Chains A and B, each alone.
Chain A
Amino acid sequence: MAAVPMPSTISATAALIDELDKKLICVLRDGRKLIGYLRSVDQFANLVLQDTVERYYVGNEYGDVPVGIYIIRGENVALLGEMDASADQSRFLKQVDAETILRKHAELPDADKRRTQGGDEYADMS
């Protein structure tokens, strides 16, 4: 029997189920970028990410801080992007270790801290 095509408009769960076990970048509403393997989802787009790193960008450098397993409440999620293994970020940006990027990030003035996290968080409009 041929596989039944899954309707595309049942719920968010249907759309996100396709992304399970993929390495994704999760951009939160506050601008944070979390990269990890998607292990679980639900209808609210609550997520479980495994082997998560928080990626910081400062200038033309970036660094990953390992943070383990995250359960993310769906209301905080802005975007989930599939990280293309072949896409080479080091073409433009230099990767540094966690300690260095955290130090550089801490040295930023507060306004730039939010800006360089890239999210440009906005007023809560939920």
Chain B
Amino acid sequence: MLFSSFFKTLIGKEVTVELKNDLQLNGVLKSVDQFLNIKLDSIQVADIERYPHMMAVKNCFIRGSVVRYIHLPPEHVDKQLLQDATRKEATGGDKN
């Protein structure tokens, strides 16, 4: 829940999603869910000559299980908030 909440704060921002098959997609984060499935708008494909099938695609849904990395703009990440939320989640979870 923590990471999906974290990514919710990045909706509307530009991110780069790197898939396990090495495809890299830059786009605006439109939605994220509990499985960290991602929807991106206005995508740009790195090295698009390798991926001709992506030429016609402007928006996409990426299954969370195939994501390797999500590259974020550091200015949009509140590290202190993240750390606090992590500590809270760690203790809150163990108490259950």
* B33 in contact with A11 (CB, 8 Å): yes
- Mask: chain B, 1-37; 1 = CB below 8 Å from A; 0 = not: 0001100100100000001111100000011111101
Whether B79 is near chain A, meaning CB under 8 Å from some CB there, is no
Number of interface residues of A (CB under 8 A): 40
* A45 in contact with B56 (CB, 8 Å): no
What residues on B are CB-neighbors of A16 within 8 Å?
61
- Tally inter-chain residue pairs, CB-CB below 8 A: 105
* B33 in contact with A29 (CB, 8 Å): no
* B55 in contact with A9 (CB, 8 Å): no
Residues 19-39 (chain A) with a chain B CB within 8 angstroms: 19, 25, 27, 29, 31, 33
A9 to B33, CA, bound (A): 4
A93 to B8, CA, bound (A): 38
* A74 in contact with B63 (CB, 8 Å): yes
A8 to B10, CA, bound (A): 12
Residues 64-110 (chain A) with a chain B CB within 8 angstroms: 74-75, 77-84, 87-89, 92-93
What residues on B are CB-neighbors of A92 within 8 Å?
52, 55
* B37 in contact with A89 (CB, 8 Å): no
Shortest CB distance A9–B (Å): 5
- With A8-B8, A9-B32, A15-B31: A93-B60 Cβ-Cβ less than 8 Å: no
Q: Which residue of B lies closest to A10 (CB)?
A: B33
* B57 in contact with A83 (CB, 8 Å): yes
Whether B53 is near chain A, meaning CB under 8 Å from some CB there, is yes
Report B's interface with A, CB cutoff 8 A.
Answer: 4-5, 8, 11, 19-23, 30-35, 37, 39, 50-63, 65-66
Apart from A8-B33, A12-B37, A87-B58: 16 A-B pairs, beta carbons within 8 A? A9-B8, A10-B33, A11-B35, A15-B33, A15-B37, A15-B61, A27-B53, A78-B20, A79-B19, A79-B63, A79-B66, A80-B61, A80-B62, A84-B58, A118-B50, A122-B20
